[in-house]
Structure 1
Amino acid sequence: MNGDRLQFLSLYFVRFSGGFGLAALVTLLPTYISLYDPSGLVIGLYTSAFTLASTVAIVPFAWGGDAGDKRRVLAVAVALALVSYVGFAFVTGSWGFVAARSVQGFAATGASLMSLSLVGELAPTGERANHIGKANAARLASGIVGSLSVGAIYEIYGFRAVYGLLVALLALALVALVAFVRPDPVRIEGFPFSSLSVNERLRTLSTFRGQYAVAVTLVRTWVPIYAGVEAAQGGLAYGSFAVAVVITAEKAANMAFQPYTGRLSDRFGRAAFVAAGGAGYGLVALAVPFAPGIGTALGLPPGVPGAAALADTALVRVVGVSEAVAGLATLTPAFLPLVGANALLGATDAFREPASMALFADEGENTEGGGVASSFGIREFVWRPGSVAAPFLGGWLMTEVGMAWVFYAGGAAALSAVVVFLAVLAAQHGPAALRTW
């Protein structure tokens, strides 16, 4: 196996291990809410603590990656992530959970920035979105495996078994990184953020990304909350394994499409894929609260047909998840529509994500005095205000207005982002930019 392939595979594995941990916390979030019964403000902090810490991490990691060895900086981030999961194993209340989420957020930003920057530098320009799509597919694959396994492991063995698995996985990723990824020779002098901050293309992309952050943060955070919290709180009261299945639908669809849509955006223009993905995401988000009505109107079964029979198979019994799988047969008619809607959210976002990342990588490489890591850092910065504010908005809407309004707000934010992006793109760069970017 050639050296470049080993480097890509090692970086994909780093993405896999990071995605596994993030999926674990998303899957368990409704469980922590039920366990600690936090206020709407603290529910917001459960997500915003992660986001605020990851915002603080952007400049030191991005500058350090462009000025020094990205591989070494990535190794530091992976080690910090490992420490955060050790911390989660000993959490006993809301504030301990918020603290551990902060460390996790700081580490996750470093790992994401550096792994994507290394993939972007290794990939030829004409294949960049395709390689980024593969890297994201690895992260999403871990989300699928992580969501399903974490839900079952928690129900059988508890929190500490989950976090022990995460620590072991990150340790293996760190070994692969050191063993197979070559030191990064690229060095950028000065402060690349200064050159990139006046880049017209990045500013145009930011008109979309700033609003879209609100949409994705609300929808991606509240789909599992909607599935898992009690009916009195506006949710469907599904167990953790059922919540994991809902989450997995989004990740599976996203994973399946990203390498393909990334390759298409390399050939036909990336801006159109950003706009199409954002519009589709907004429309599907608006439909999520109608899952119960859709299930009833279509006369769908209360759960997954055949789940009871599957739970009695030898393989499922050996794995030890028979009870969790059997529970999928006794849910509500809303389950299958919710799974379908979340799968559509993943498919639509797969059109946007690799194209957007490749556009930022292109500008980091092509801007004089810029850098790929700093360009991704700006991408993260633009995302942060919306992703910090959105959980507080979502917590308030959930507790004061109603769960459905979280998804209405998310869908409206996505559609607004697309409209503004297309208007600025046409005004500043001409109508042809939608095809040529």
Structure 2
Amino acid sequence: MGSLASRILAQFAVDRRVLALAFARMADGVGNSFLIIVIPLYVASDIVGGATLGLGEAMIIGIILSLFGFLNSSFQPFTGRLSDRFGRRKPFILIGLAGLTLTNVAYVFAESYLTLLVIRGLQGVSVSFIVPASIALVNELATTDDRGGNMGVYNTFRLLGFGAGPLAAGAVVNLGPYSIATLSVSGFDAAFYVAAVTAALSTVLVTVLITDPEGTKANAGADISIPIRDPSGRNLFDPIFTLGVASLFMAAAIALFATIQPQVNARLEQGPTWFGLQFAAFILAQILLQTPIGRACDRYGRRPFIVAGMILLIPSTLIQGFITGSETMFLARLIQGIAGAMVFAPSLALAGDIAGEGESGSKLSVLTMAFGFGIALGPLASGALVGYGFEVPFIFGTGLAVLGSILVYTQIEETLETTAPIPVVGSD
């Protein structure tokens, strides 16, 4: 037992600043994932009104959720480049967290679709300051030998917070209103305050515990352009561009689920609590597997995990369109999470291997930008496609997963010079 505990603890042996940043992102992740569950319920309530321009409820929810991802992703190359040019990461993270805190409070005063749209858009811009700088910080604190493990630890704790939110969000809303002294706080307002407090806590943690790496150098020539063709000529596409496209397809397939909560609940005859569990199942798999897969890709190579993860994404996405039971949907989302875990940390590690000195913010923002665009595309696509049949959004996502699998298999090469052979189960 003691030996097992030691091995588990060894998985999280990283630079203390990586661990501190991971805990900080875990805190703001709780609040952000709260909103993914709460906003659709808020839009469907009688509290929010205003012009709809003839759009249905599912489409309105999709636009509000997607705007966050589109603005977040669109600004990431610029904020990543700026952090490279200044050679500083911490100030960018703090700017983003401060904006996230303020916008979470602003939801309390939002009573129209347009106001929700503006607030969610401002949150997207705020998070665009956090993501590239955070990933660049982790990359610069790592080496080729432990980069996958560092990325895995960072993502494990960040996603732990992101996964905890949905489990509590529905309950916080349903148990309201709350009486605090002489005040009555609705379930929705309580959820928004929780999101604000977690973002504020994250700000405090970064302020106190994080410092920029001593060796980080400003790079005034940091370039935000994304090369498409492989400069080496060995493949058709640049490897970082390829990973970005695959990340976009993967994220879109995963995020299809978020917008269609009413349709999922009606089809499976379940309540918001079950939906929260199913949404969190993907995150649960990520939490359990990101760190060990990150460590494993440091030893066995990046490419095998990326290819296998994209292939596993295909059936785990398709089956969700044909499921009729809550437990089976939970299992499908769990398998989809395993696929995502096999792709995400190894992809960041591979891109980090390629990035030159002072380029971490610019290069790695390609992957985070693409993932954000996928998170935005998924809800928008499912909101538009679900009217043609419950299974149609998931068929669309499956097609994206097939294309992504072909790309990574044909265009990605291994970056580790030496890798150990992957052990075969049952071999001596």
TM interval, shorter chain, is: 0.7 to 0.9
The CA distance in 1 between the partners of 2:310 and 2:133, in whole Å, is 25
Match for residue 149 of structure 1 among 165, 168, 181: 168
CA distance in 2, matches of 1:208, 1:136: 17
Looking at secondary structure, tell me which structure has more helix per residue: 1
AA paired with 1:176? L
1:88 deviation in Å? 1.8
Which AA in structure 1 matches 2:257?
V
- Alpha-carbon distance, 1:384 to partner: 5.8
- In the alignment, does 2:80 pair up with 1:62? yes
Partner of 2:341: 350
- Tell me how far apart the structure 1 counterparts of residues 380 and 258 of structure 2 sit (CA, whole Å): 17
Q: Deviations over 1:373-428 (max 9, x none)?
A: 111122234446655544443222112x11211011101111111112322347xx
Seen in structure 2, the aligned counterparts of structure 1 residues 405 and 144 have a Cα distance that, compared at 3 Å, is same
Structure 2 counterpart of 1:86: 105
RMSD (Å), alpha carbons: 3.0
* Amino acid paired to 1:220: I
Aligned-pair identity in percent equals 20
| Aligned counterpart in structure 2 of residue 170 of structure 1, from 188, 191, 199 | 199
User: Quick check: 1:224–1:243 contact (8 Å CA) kept in 2?
Assistant: no
Aligned residues: 383
2:402 aligns with: 415
Seen in structure 2, the aligned counterparts of structure 1 residues 414 and 375 have a Cα distance that, compared at 3 Å, is same
Distance verdict in 2 for CA 1:235–1:57, change over 3 Å: farther
Q: Hey, what does 1:284 align to over in structure 2? A: 316
Deviation of residue 31 (structure 1)? 1.3
For 1:244-393, list aligned pairs within 5 A: 244-292=276-324, 334-365=325-356, 371-383=359-371, 388-393=376-381
Task: Give the unaligned 5+ runs of structure 1.
Answer: 293-333
Cα distance in 2, alignment partners of residues 22 and 435 from structure 1: 39
User: Is the 1:12–1:138 contact (alpha carbons within 8 Å) kept by the matching residues of 2?
Assistant: yes
Aligned match for 2:25, one of 1, 15, 40? 15
Q: Are residues 1:229 and 2:262 paired?
A: yes
1:296 corresponds to:
none
Deviation at 1:287, TM superposition (A): 0.7
In the TM superposition, what are the counterparts of 1:111-260 in structure 2 within 5 Å? 111-157=130-176, 158-185=187-214, 186-193=216-223, 197=227, 200=231, 203-217=238-252, 219-226=253-260, 228-230=261-263, 235-236=267-268, 238-260=270-292
Question: 1:236, 1:30 → 2: CA distance?
Answer: 18
Does residue 43 (structure 1) correspond to residue 73 (structure 2)? The answer is: no
What does residue 383 of structure 2 align with? 395
Contact 1:209 1:417 in 2 (8 A): no
- Quote the offset at 1:237 in angstroms: 5.3
Letter of the aligned partner of 2:238 in structure 1?
R
Aligned partners of 1:107, 1:121: CA distance in 2, in Å? 22
Task: Give deviations 1:339-378, integer Å, cap 9, x for gaps.
Answer: 1111111111111110001112222236xxx511111122
What's the secondary structure of 2:211's corresponding residue?
A: coil
Letter of the 2:256 counterpart: W
C-alpha distance 212-59 of structure 1, shift in aligned 2 (>3 A): closer
- SS state of the match for residue 212, structure 2? coil
Once residues 175 and 152 of structure 2 are traced to their aligned partners in structure 1, the CA distance between those partners, rounded to angstroms, is 34
- What whole-Å deviation, never above 9, does each CA across 1:272-324 have from its counterpart, x for those lacking one? 211111110122100112221xxxxxxxxxxxxxxxxxxxxxxxxxxxxxxxx
Scaled by the length of structure 2, what TM-score is found? 0.81
- What is the Cα deviation at residue 76 of structure 1? 0.7
Structure-1 separation of matches of 2:278 and 2:16: 33
User: Does structure 2 conserve the Cα–Cα contact (< 8 Å) formed by 1:91 and 1:97?
Assistant: yes
- Tell me if the contact between 1:215 and 1:411 (Cα under 8 Å) persists in the aligned partners: no
Give the 3 Å change call, closer, same or farther, for CA 379–79 of structure 1 in structure 2: same
